[in-house]
Structure 1
Amino acid sequence: MNQPDERLEQPQLDDRLRQLAIAAQHRSPGSSARQRVLTELIGVLQRSGKLSRPRRGQFQMLYEEIYVEALQHLFSFICERIDSYNPQKGEVLQWVNFLLNQRFFIIASREFLPTVYEGMDARTVKRLTLESLDESNPYELNPQLIPHLSQEVKECLEEDPEGLFEQACVANHPTASFRYLALRRLEGYSWQDLSAELNIAIPTLSSFYQRCLTRFAPKLKTYLS
């Protein structure tokens, strides 16, 4: 039985991660064998406690959500691009934390705060989702970011008078429309459920959904006024 990953000393951890990364590279892309090794690699990373925490003093109200989204992007990248890891240039953890710090945390923060205006303090902005619309007090939300939506939002999505919500789809996935995703989320389906159903990665679904929510907020406000 392997020693618990979270107790590995740094040299042992580096050796374990390197072995797994190289093993994954030696499996055929798309094979179940490669996927099993990648799943183990990501599990070791998650349990290690060594993943960095970029910009910890920023985005106070949104930090954990942004961080989780950044990790989803990171893990998807590892699964899709493990061959880009070069053991001659450094350890796996260095490669992973560089990507997390310099790429995926920035991408995730921009997805969560796509319309923060100049001079606005991002730490005071609350993320609004369709799931929380009926429970939110509109006076506690930043009106510059996303307007208040009433309890009729579900009916509005179902009716979709101009077909806009149905036409907006994940690239190359016509069944994954904003209308479908939003209604399913309101019904309580998780991103994991939808990812398995549609065979689309969670980060892809989540970022598409958030962009559409921001994009269509003015239209929803018009419909509901």
Structure 2
Amino acid sequence: MGQSTSTQTMSAHMVSSSDNNEKTSRFSPQALLQLVQETCAHPLGSAERQRGLTQLIRHLTPQLWRTYDAYYADALQQTWIYFCRNLCEATTGRAYDPTVATVATWLNAYLRRRLQDFEIAENRKRAITVSQSSGFRANSDDALDPIDRLSAPPDVPPWLEQIRAWALSNPDLEKIHVGKHPQVTARLLILKRLPPETPWKNLAAEYGISIGTLSSFYQRQCLVKLREYGKSQGYF
């Protein structure tokens, strides 16, 4: 029943792709499959593999499930990381199998599961908060309608999606990390600091690393990579 409710909630919040993405969304499943095969034919970590992954992310983005949920960006980021790691090889899960589903269907199934995970976690936190609130009343005038908690989907500029696709598909960013914290990579910090930026204090609390250390690493490693990418794309 929980899963059904979650699916209904996401269905209610689903939004369509923007008009700017209409042309990209018409990229046929057959063409996508051919691009997948060409991408996977290149060695892991090669520039050719990276370019193919970037192209696939750009073409697949308009076909993905969209919701108004506050945690959608986090679920989407997890989905793209899963995509880059398991499209060609089984790294953190089963490798993509084109005989089972199209790549868009495969990704949407994973994205929905991550959204359900986030929703379950949010419901648990909300239940704990309510149980700890001694002054809680079900019919309180202060109670918020669920609709009031929905935020409008952000209008994401194309350049931001391009940087996100580059960060997700660049294997070098995964090799650069903060000191003795291999889980805090250049890729993670670049993605976390893309608009809307995760505050440094939140990152420091989440990973147990001082703000100074994180900020210094970002300046020395992440910004250098971002500038190199920006120059290669003619952003500046």
Q: TM-score range by the shorter chain?
A: 0.3 to 0.5
TM-score, with length taken from structure 2: 0.44
TM-score by length of 1: 0.46
